[in-house]
């Protein structure tokens, strides 16, 4: 699952970013071009992940992000969670901010790290008191600056799911993490799948995968899950590439492979942000479209609290605000779109198929 090492609030302060109009227009033109694929089915669902903010600038960026993505009708949005009281309080504060500003269905992350069972279940009660009835249950990574989990704490994500279910019963939905390319600390793919099965058997309602760029790896993982008797929804984790260097570093830490063809695709685009966004959104949309054609129905976007790429990806896929009909889209009609718009998108998107 996505975690805070790439949190922009923890790197350097940025002002809220308004994307160039040209990027949105390009996304709409790409959505109208003929695809070598069938249209996405209407039962497709998307969800979005945010992280807690620590500054007024971060809070303003989150407000902007939520307001841009809410009209796409996500099934839920989740907020990440770190070890330690101050980080947990930021999660509660962020959920409170979203609850007061939107009507989105909210999910709070919860980990086993540095907390006793009593403390962890107190956090479940804080979520319920806030009206948050969906929990993303994770073992979590032990930070160097936090005390170890005490002996009476939950030791595994499966224990955490069991504890939440025993404590809250059917008042909560529970999602858990999974890893199409295997957790980096797993003994083997078989052992990793066994851990996932334990979490599902303990009472989890769905699993959300780590982000990935190899669709075949996800599809093989999905098949293995079905053969193991895992029948809950498997939600594909998607991370549009906002920065190729940062995404590559993050992928190396969490076991997600970067395809060999991808570095060349983003080479030289650091100083061309509009082209970078167009390539990144098209690539993410092509990944989702290919998975949808293979029967995948649920996609979870790791937004990094920046809506532009996720919104553009959804628009390219044909998703539009719930209160907007196809005829309300602005821009040139398909037969009058500027020459080359479709060709540019096809060139970027076809890289996925070449690399698969």
Positions annotated as catalytic residues are 49
Q: Which two tokens stand for residue 195?
A: 């851990």
Q: Which two tokens stand for residue 67?
A: 């307001």
Residue that the structure tokens 């319920």 belong to = 128
Is 56 in a helix, a strand, or coil?
helix
User: What is the distance between the alpha carbons of residues 135 and 106, in angstroms, rounded to a whole number?
Assistant: 9
Q: Which two tokens stand for residue 254?
A: 């969490």
* Residue 143 CB coordination number (10 Å): 14
Q: In whole angstroms, what separates CA 29 from the centre of its chain?
A: 25
Tally the C-alpha atoms within 13 A of residue 202's C-alpha that lie toward its C-beta: 23
Residue 268 gets the label, from left (phi > 0), alpha (psi -120 to 50) or beta, of left
Q: Which of 224, 353, 207, 208 is nearest to 287 (CA)?
A: 353
Kind and range of the H or E run holding 86: helix 85-101
Is 211 in a helix, a strand, or coil?
strand
């Amino acid at each position: 699952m996505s975690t805070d090492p790439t949190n922009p609030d923890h790197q350097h302060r940025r002002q809220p970013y308004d994307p160039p109009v040209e990027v949105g227009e390009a996304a709409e033109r790409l959505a109208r071009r003929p695809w070598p694929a069938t249209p996405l089915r209407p039962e497709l669902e998307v969800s979005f992940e945010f992280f807690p903010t620590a500054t007024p600038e971060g809070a303003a960026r989150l407000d902007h992000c939520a307001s841009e993505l809410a009209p796409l009708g996500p099934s839920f949005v989740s907020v990440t969670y770190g070890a330690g009281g101050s980080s947990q309080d930021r999660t509660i504060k962020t959920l409170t901010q979203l609850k007061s500003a939107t009507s989105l269905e909210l999910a709070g992350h919860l980990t086993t790290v540095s907390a006793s069972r009593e403390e962890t279940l107190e956090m479940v009660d804080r979520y319920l008191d806030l009206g948050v009835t969906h929990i993303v249950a994770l073992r979590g990574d032990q930070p160097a600056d936090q005390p170890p989990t005490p002996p009476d704490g939950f030791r595994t994500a499966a224990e955490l799911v069991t504890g939440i279910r025993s404590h809250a019963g059917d008042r909560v939905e529970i999602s858990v993490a999974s890893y199409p390319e295997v957790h980096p600390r797993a003994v083997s793919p078989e052992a990793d799948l066994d851990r996932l099965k334990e979490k599902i058997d303990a009472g989890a309602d769905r699993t959300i995968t780590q982000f990935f760029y190899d669709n075949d790896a996800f599809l093989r993982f999905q098949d293995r899950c079905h053969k193991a008797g895992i029948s809950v929804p498997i939600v594909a984790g998607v991370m549009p590439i906002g920065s190729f260097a940062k995404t590559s570093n993050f992928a190396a830490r969490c076991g997600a492979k970067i395809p060999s063809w991808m570095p060349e695709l983003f080479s030289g685009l650091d100083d061309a942000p509009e082209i970078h966004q167009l390539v990144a959104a098209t690539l993410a949309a092509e990944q989702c479209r290919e998975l949808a054609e293979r029967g995948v129905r649920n996609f979870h976007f790791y937004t990094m609290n920046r809506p532009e790429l996720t919104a553009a990806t959804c628009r390219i896929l044909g998703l539009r605000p719930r209160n907007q009909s196809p005829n309300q889209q602005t821009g040139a009609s398909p037969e009058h779109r500027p020459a080359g718009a479709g060709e540019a998108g096809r060139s970027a998107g076809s890289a996925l198929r070449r690399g698969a």
